[in-house]
Amino acid sequence: MMNSITINNLTKRFGNFTSVDSISFDVKEGEIFGFLGANGAGKTTTIKMLCGILSPTEGDALVAGFSIKKEPNKVKLNIGYMSQRFSLYNDLTVEENINFFGGIYGLNGSRLLERKQWVLKIANLNGKENLLTASLPGGIKQRLALGTAVIHRPKIVFLDEPTSGVDPISRRNFWDLIHNLSSDGITVFVTTHYLEEAEFCNNIILINAGKLIAEGSSKELKTNYLKNDLYEIECSNVVDALEILEVQNFVEETSIFGNNIHISVNRNFSSTQQIESVLLSNKDIKISRVNKIVPTLEDVFIHLLERDKK
């Protein structure tokens, strides 16, 4: 498969603050590509450079085969962008918004009509063309924003946290839509905070403080980056339990997951009895369950971010 996006040492500095620090990676044609990172990691900055809204301080990228530095106008013809705020004109009707965005992409006549029908369909807004956009619920607005972002059938679409602030069911439906776009051959470059959503991506990049710290499919990330076995402990008095576990020589890393504790263990570990016996030394701790688990992406990322801190 061909590369849809090729990024080379892309860097963005604001003054002497480096927001994106020399990152390089490839995105394949037609894939759903997850771009992950904590708040302020540099996701939006990277997307804005790829879309030609910001110019890179250093490095370059080929988007749909065109350099974002040398041929930004050709890049623009091939991409769609949905910003973090899914921006539509709230004071225009649904149809006026579609007409406007279609218009600035040069659609008219039967082509505009056909694409308008398509947008209305995916946003479930058939027959509601004259509603004011401000009156739409978040989930619908988000689908309308996606529709207008790809109204011109771009080869690549950049979605910056498209599901933030939307209820779980709408999120689920939205991901179905993303899958449809991808199966139509559109490359989807998506950032998200929800790690369970990252599982839907073909490939993932994790960045932290502007630097790339991991890449691969969800499965590769779990096996390549997390060598140690992982155990989940359900018990009372989690804080005390955590304190005890942290200092054990068989424990590599600890973290809290909801009401449970996850620990990764090293060579010194023999069996779950080891965990139970150290915890039961404190009478206040009641253990309900200790078992080995398959790591989630969250485990991998916490591990990677902890490692990055050191």
Q: Contact at 8 Å (CB) between 74 and 121?
A: no
Q: Contact at 8 Å (CB) between 144 and 133?
A: yes
Among 7, 23, 33, 42, binds ligand ATP (CB under 6 A): 42
Q: How many CA atoms lie within 13 A of 82 on its CB side?
A: 27
CA-to-CA dists, residue 165 to 38, 84, 170, 194, 262, angstroms: 16, 10, 10, 11, 28
Q: Verify binding: residue 40, other proteins, rule CB under 8 A.
A: no
Report the sign of the C-alpha dihedral through residues 46, 48, 52, 54, in that order: negative
Residue 56: CB minimum distance to ligand ATP, A: 13
Residue 24: CB minimum distance to ligand ATP, A: 17
Q: Verify binding: residue 83, ligand ATP, rule CB under 6 A.
A: no
Q: Verify binding: residue 192, ligand ATP, rule CB under 6 A.
A: no
**Which CB, 96 or 232, lies closer to other proteins?**
96
Q: Which of residues 119-158 bind other proteins (CB under 8 A)?
A: 132, 149
Report the sign of the C-alpha dihedral through residues 117, 121, 123, 125, in that order: positive
| 230, containing H or E segment | strand 229-235
Region near other proteins per CB under 8 A, out of 87-95, 194-202, 252-260, 290-298: 87-95
Q: Which of residues 100-119 bind other proteins (CB under 8 A)?
A: 100-101, 103-106, 108
Region near Mg ion per CB under 5 A, out of 41-49, 131-139, 213-221, 299-307: 41-49
Region near ligand ATP per CB under 6 A, out of 3-11, 33-41, 134-142, 221-229: 33-41
Q: What are phi and psi of 10, to 5 degrees?
A: -70, 130
Size (the chain), residues: 310
Among 3, 11, 57, 84, binds other proteins (CB under 8 A): 84
Alpha carbon 232 to its chain's center: 26
Residue 44: CB minimum distance to Mg ion, A: 3
Q: Verify binding: residue 303, ligand ATP, rule CB under 6 A.
A: no
Residue 37: CB minimum distance to ligand ATP, A: 5
Q: Which does 92 bind (CB under 5 to 8 A by kind): ligand ATP, other proteins, Mg ion, none?
A: other proteins
Give start and end residues of each alpha helix (H) in 16-137.
43-51, 72-78, 94-104, 109-122
